[in-house]
Amino acid sequence: MPKVTAQGKTFQCEQGSNLRKVLLENGIDLYNGNAKTINCHGFATCGTCTVQVEGEVSAPNWQDKARRSLPPHSPTANRRLACQTQVLGDVRVTKFDGFWGEGSQTVWTPEG
Ligand code: FES
């Protein structure tokens, strides 16, 4: 089973699991600030579940690309919507600042 490392924790999930669900089920602070309550619950419309992912995951789908093409996101930034990403192998996840996770400062890294 793939291992996910985020915010100082490492846990396993089924191959093909939804990254947003895996992170939330394991108590990871996926959302910044008020985005914890104001988010689209995985429908690719709010853009606040954005993270940087290293490792084997599904290719970005059109919803992921479309939402990240809109400000404040940038289509060229190395980010993904967790809610549109499937875990295919071991992954390491980093969260950046800003309401949408669009910033340049890390909020947490794989190590903590
Ligand atoms: S939870 Fe809203 S875009 Fe992912």
How many other β-carbons are positioned within 10 Å of the β-carbon of residue 70? 11
For ligand 1, is residue 83 a contact (CB within 6 Å)?
Answer: yes
Q: What is the pTM of this model?
A: 0.97
Q: Rg of the Cα trace of the chain?
A: 12
At position 54, the amino acid (one-letter code) is E
- Domain with 70, as residue range(s), is 3-108
CATH of the domain at 94: 3.10.20.30
DSSP state of 73: S
Q: Which of 8, 16, 37, 3 is nearest to 95 (CA)?
A: 8
Q: How far is the CA of 8 from the centre of ligand 1 (A)?
A: 23
User: Residue 89 is encoded by which pair of tokens?
Assistant: 């192998």
Number of compact structural domains in the chain: 1
Q: How far is the CA of 101 from the centre of ligand 1 (A)?
A: 11
Per residue in 52-109, pLDDT (tens digit) is 999 999 999 999 999 999 999 999 999 999 999 999 999 999 999 999 999 999 999 9
- The CA distances from residue 14 to 3, 53, 68, in Å, are 9, 17, 26
